[in-house]
Structure formats: structure tokens, C-alpha cells
Chain A
Amino acid sequence: MSAIKIKLRENDLQQLKEVCKSFNNEAGELINVLHKAQGIFGYLPAEVQEVVAQELNVSVAKVYGVVTFYSFFTMVPRGKYPISVCTGTACYVRGAEKVLDEFKRILKVPVGETTPDGKFSIAGLRCVGACGLAPVVLVGDKTYGRVAPDGVKEILKEYEDQ
């Protein structure tokens, strides 16, 4: 499982249990519970999965199976500014791959990973449906449209001093 070992703080643990309880600890609500949990912690480390499994009375393997099945869930903490490059077809034919390459080249991390300082993480994102703006890049909730490879530096600059 995840290489990162964390220990949940008491109030986090409590909050997580509350989430499970709000769904009546029903096993069928597993995906909804995980959505909420990722909302709280930003990712789903093994420790969180263990608690969820216990509360919903399912095996940890089952929870892990679900977490790794869906691309929305992650077991690695995202950067402070998560960068998502849309890899939908419309963005692809308008050059998204080159934009993604440029992010990887400048930040020196592959897709799915976070820079050592924890600032940026890069991810490929399935279509966001803003194809009129292709290629599309999201940094956190902010959308950048019609991004060209030479515009990548500019985008990163916005987050440099923060």
C-alpha cells in the first residue's frame, strides 16, 4: 500500500467517523464516504481506508480495491497547487500533450507526482467539457484556456511567490 505512513489525529478520526455515521455506516455508501473523506484529508492514505473499512464493516481490501479503481481517488497527497492538464480528445488534437510535456520538463516530476517542496503536482484530467477553450489547464479551481507550451512558464509564475 501507500509508502507514506501517517497517524490520524484524534479530531480527524472523529470527523471521519462522523462522515461514516452520516451515511448510516452503510457499505453501499462506500463511494460517497470516500468522496467526503478525500474532501477532508485531500487524499486517501491507508490509515483513512482502514478506519472507513472498520466503520462500514467491510474488508480493507474492498476499500483499497475501490480507491484504486476510480481515478478520482488518490493515495498520494496532491501539491498545494494541483495542476491538471485536460487529456480529452479535443484538447489532445489541439496540443495538450505538448503542454503536459512542458509542465513535466519545468517541474521535473512525472504525471501523478508532487514536487519535492509539495507545491505543485501534475495530473492528467479527463475531459472537463470546456472544449471551446482547448487545451485546458486547471490549477486548483482556476481554469486556463487555450494554453500553448510557451504559456506554461507564465502560469507557473503566478504561483511562484505564494
Chain B
Amino acid sequence: MSKYKMHLLVCGGTGCHASASNQLLENLKKEVADKDLSGEVQVISTGCFGFCEKGPIVKIIPDNTFYTEVKPEDAPDIVAEHVIKGRQVKRLLYKDPVRKEVISDSRDMGFYKKQLRIALRNCGFINPENIDEYIAADGYEALGNVLADMTPEEATKVVMDSGLRGRGGGGFPTGLKWDIARKVEADQKYVVCNADEGDPGAFMDRSILEGDPHSVIEAMAINGYCIGADKGLVYIRAEYPLAIDRLKTALGQAREYGLLGEDILGTGFNFDIEIRYGAGAFVCGEETALIHSMEGHRGEPTFKPPFPAQSGYLGKPTNVNNVETFANIPVIYNKGAEWYASIGTEKSKGTKVFALAGKINNVGLIEVPMGTTLREVIFEIGGGIKNGKKFKAVQTGGPSGGCLTEKHLDTPIDFDNLLASGSMMGSGGMIVMDEDDCMVSVARFYLDFTVEESCGKCTPCRVGNKRLYELLDLISKGNGTHAELDKLRNLSEVIKDTSLCGLGQTSPNPVLSTMDNFWDEYLSHVDDQRCPAGQCKELIRYEVVEENCVGCTACARNCPVNCISGERKEVHFIEQSLCIKCGACFEKCKFNAISVS
């Protein structure tokens, strides 16, 4: 990267892409070319910077200037002012919502200060479509060293010593998994990368594949060497077209450079990777289901043992790891197992990537050392709750996880602590909720998801979750009794105990954790037919507060069903029989003249 004096890095992740960052990239390239600066200034599209809330992002190296919410039409200003005259474009700089000050250097932003980026080290830094940039950032060095200097046993031991645990959710020790697959004798073995990121609200794996696909390829090759496999497969969601494109490009380049294929780096080691597409089934994140799906079957899980390490893809020993797990591997070899093991807590080493989303100021992708507290993540990195509202809960672990509350905020995050708190690490989705979110309807939302995603093979999951959903629906409509609450708890426990795979064994978690932490809210729905958060449609009523209404007509104009009447400058009226409870009037009123009850 040294031949250029300046680099303009434009985020090319899915979020920014959706906000026209590709047009911005083209405009910047054109401006730079028009000003005859193409020899000195490089404009590249990178992977996700993580700061999705304020995308599209443009970062300028060497001075680290961080521009947010940049539009395609801002390109001329950036080039004319910043690149040529060396003056920052003030209006595009990030403004800290709490401290109200403008911050130009990304290193000073609260969002980045507490982060330690290992799996995301190259995201937002290199051009993912250029293998040379990955190599310049120590890429493929680990593979070279492993192939030249280590036996498979020694190389596996490095991962075991690092203490790395699977980042897909289960937290199984990765080195041990490799070692089991290594020791099985077979004529053919497989390495599988699980990129079927089905947890709604989580986008870690997608960002890594979009921003740094080579790190996954390199790690899979190392894994192949360790366990004695010459074939790798990436199982990726068809909903991630950009990640698929980048991965394909990266695979082509790696083959061209002799880093995949026959006789890699002249060591006699053969390894190549194929892509398999998912087709939208959450249960396929479970490794046995994933393997069946790759074989062209319905993605139904099967009982373990046999574990994939013994009998996996096409009946052969198979090691399955998730994208983020693989992304950690090359660094572990480059910096050493001891270094990696020095980060994190006693039983959870290294860092974890989280996708922060929901009612939080800084929605985005972050990576923090294990042991960081939820408070640091939500309030320091995440910048606190949107619109100054009160924090209510954070949901971790997706549909298999639980809701954690105020009292858990100072718990250091690691695999074991989250489990002990009634949730789980999961793949790293973190959905923050505020005082306006109803926990009964959140639980119902997750059950709706589970019901749709249950593969139907075992009865507790197929039928039981449907019943849970119906009970929650009844309660959220104000028709539940204490008998339903009891049934809800009992049934949840039965489903957990008797389901075949991880999906059913964890699907009642959102119900149980909300019942444990927000019992009052359930009682309000049942005893008083009241939804304290004002979310459950059947239990709420929007009304005009007469003394506050100034007759501005904003509510009437925004009502989609025209059920609000009233003349200008006169008090308005909501016709309850027509109201669909969409809440548009409530949101549009600037005078607190609409109440929810």
C-alpha cells in the first residue's frame, strides 16, 4: 500500500452498500482521476467498518479521518477540500451524541476505543477483492509456516493451547475438535465452514466474509493440513449475495497464487474449497443438519453420536467450524497460542464479535476481549439507548438465548457467565431493548420464528413450540389466566428436556428468561389485561389528551385509516372502532397530545 500518499477507504459492506456506497466509490474514483491524482491517491472499497449506524463510512489514511453518512454527491468536496487542500470536511465528521463534540480521528471514538479487533482485523482496512493486500497484512504467512515447519499434530496443538472455543454458539474447544478429527483414520476427510448465519439480527460472519474472505480460506487450509483433509466446503446462505461474490473472487485468486489446489507452496499438500448454498433454514446452523443439507437433503438434524468428526459429510470424518472461529486461526499462528490465551477470561479466551442492534445509538459490529461487561458494550461502545430512553433488556444468543436485564449489566461476558445468567453466547447477536418493548411480545416474536424454523422431525419441537406460541398469543391479547402461565413454564421445560437437537433444546429460553426477569409484565397482561409497554395491540387504546391538543392536524394527516377527525386549531378525536393501532398519530404528535393506555 506504500506507493500511494493517501488512501480513501470506502465501506463496501451490505449496510453501506444499501445506502449507495458503490455510487460514492465510483464518484470518488472519478473525482480523483479528474484531478489527475490517481497515481498518488488510492480509492478502495473495503469490508465493514462496523459502524453501520452512520453509514456509508469513508476513512482516510494516513490521518485516520472518519467521515460518516457520506452521500455520493459529497465526493467532490472530499477530494477538493480534504485530498487537495488538506482541510477536513467538517459537516461529514462524526459527532458524539453524548459529549456533543466533533471527533475526526476514529481512534478517539468511544465506539472503537474499547475494541480489540482480531477476527475483524482486516475488515475496513484492506480491499477484500485483492489478495495482495491480504498478503501485505501478513496473510498466508501462517499457512506457509505451518506447512513448512510443523507436523499436523504440532499444528493442532497450537490451536488447543490457544484456548479458542467455537464461535458459532456452542463454545466447544476448537483445538479438541480438530484433534478428534485428526485421530480418526479414513481415506477421505472434509473441512466445512459454517457460514449459515441464521440468527436474526446477527451479521458477524457475513461481514467477515465480505471484508476478509482470505482469512477464512487460509484457516480452512490449515485445518485441512491438521486433520488430513484435502477438500473444504463453505456452506453459505443464499441471502448473502455480496459475501458469496467476494468469497468466489478470493477463491479464484488463492488458486491463481498456488495457495489452494495441488502441491501448495511446493510442500506436496493438496487442498481446495467448494461453495455450497443454503436455502433459508435456521436449523441448518446445527452441524448435522448442515451436513444433510450439503448432501442435497432436507436439513434435518440427526442424533449425536456419531459426531461429524467420526461420520460427517458423505459418511466421512468432517470438521465443522464457523466463520468467526476460522478468522481467528491465522492470527493465533502468527502471534502465538500464548499471546491469544493471555486475552479474555479463565475459560473463554480471545475476543468475541458482536452485532449490536435494536434500540441502541451505535448499531454495528464490534469485537471485544472476553470478559468485557455488558455495560461497557452497551453504554460505552454502543453509545447508550436511542432517544434517551431507559434500558430494559438485552437479548443475546438469538432465538436460543435469553433476555438479560439491568442486574446483569456488570457481568463479564464469556461463555459460562452468560449461560449462568440464563442466556447464552450464541453466535453473537445482541439486540438491545428499551422501555417501550413488551417482553411478552418479544417472547412471542421468537416463538413465531422457532415455529417456522422447526424442521418438524421431533414432536416436542414441532408441536410443543406451536403450543407455546399460542399460549403467548393468548396472553398478549389479554385472554390468558394463571393456568396458562403455569402451562407455559411446564411445557417450556418439557421441550428443553426432550427435543432432539439444539434448536428445540434452547427454543423455550426466550420464554423462560422473560418469565424469570419480567414476571410482573406477564402478570399485568393476565391480571389487569394491560400491556405496560404499550405494545400489545389488543390491550391498548390511543386517545387524544384534550388539554395538550393544539389542533395542528399532524395526527389526522398521518392516520392511514382516516379515523381521526377535527378542525384546524381544534381538539381532535380518535374514532376507536376504526383505529388499527398503528401508532402513527402517537409518533407524529409533537405536543404529547396522544396517550397510550
Query: A-side interface residues toward B, CB under 8 Å?
Result: 26-32, 34-35, 65-66, 69-73, 87-94, 98, 101-102, 105, 125-134, 136, 143, 145, 148-150, 153
CB distance from A154 to the nearest CB of B (A): 12
Given that A105-B560, A126-B280, A130-B15 are known contacts, is A89 also in contact with B445, CB under 8 Å in the complex? Answer: yes
CB distance from A118 to the nearest CB of B (A): 23
Tell me the chain B residues, 393-418 only, with Cβ under 8 Å from chain A: 395, 398
Q: Contact between A72 and B18 (Cβ–Cβ < 8 Å)?
A: no
Number of interface residues, chain B, beta carbon within 8 A = 60
* A92–B437 alpha-carbon span in the complex (Å): 10
Q: Contact between A129 and B14 (Cβ–Cβ < 8 Å)?
A: yes
* A8–B87 alpha-carbon span in the complex (Å): 63
Given that A69-B281, A69-B298, A148-B587 are known contacts, is A98 also in contact with B582, CB under 8 Å in the complex? Answer: yes
Given that A66-B296, A70-B280, A72-B238 are known contacts, is A129 also in contact with B363, CB under 8 Å in the complex? Answer: no
Contact of A150 among B199, B446, B560 (CB under 8 A): B560
* A66–B292 alpha-carbon span in the complex (Å): 11
The 8 closest A-B pairs by CB, nearest first: A132-B52, A129-B203, A90-B357, A70-B279, A88-B200, A143-B18, A30-B296, A71-B280
Chain B residue at minimal CB-CB distance from A65 = B298
CB distance from B427 to the nearest CB of A (A): 11
Cβ contacts A to B, 5 pairs, < 8 Å: A73-B279, A94-B359, A126-B198, A129-B240, A145-B18
Binary contact readout B184-223 vs A (1 if CB under 8 angstroms, 0 otherwise): 0000000000000111111100110000000000000000
Q: Contact between B359 and A133 (Cβ–Cβ < 8 Å)?
A: no
* A72–B298 alpha-carbon span in the complex (Å): 13
Chain B residue at minimal CB-CB distance from A58 = B296
Instruction: Tell me, yes or no, whether B299 is within 8 Å of chain A by CB.
Output: yes
Instruction: Tell me, yes or no, whether B584 is within 8 Å of chain A by CB.
Output: yes
* A28–B363 alpha-carbon span in the complex (Å): 40
Instruction: Tell me, yes or no, whether B373 is within 8 Å of chain A by CB.
Output: no
Q: Which residues of B contact A125 (CB under 8 A)?
A: 239
Q: Which residues of A contact B350 (CB under 8 A)?
A: none
Given that A70-B279, A72-B239, A129-B206 are known contacts, is A88 also in contact with B296, CB under 8 Å in the complex? Answer: no
Q: Which residues of B contact A69 (CB under 8 A)?
A: 281, 298-299, 455
Q: Which residues of A contact B55 (CB under 8 A)?
A: 132
Binary contact readout B548-592 vs A (1 if CB under 8 angstroms, 0 otherwise): 000000000010110000000000000000001011100110000
CB distance from B506 to the nearest CB of A (A): 15
CB distance from A60 to the nearest CB of B (A): 14
Q: Contact between B239 and A89 (Cβ–Cβ < 8 Å)?
A: no
CB distance from A96 to the nearest CB of B (A): 10
Q: Contact between A90 and B238 (Cβ–Cβ < 8 Å)?
A: no
Q: Contact between A98 and B583 (Cβ–Cβ < 8 Å)?
A: yes
* A105–B455 alpha-carbon span in the complex (Å): 31
Given that A29-B296, A89-B398 are known contacts, is A34 also in contact with B279, CB under 8 Å in the complex? Answer: yes
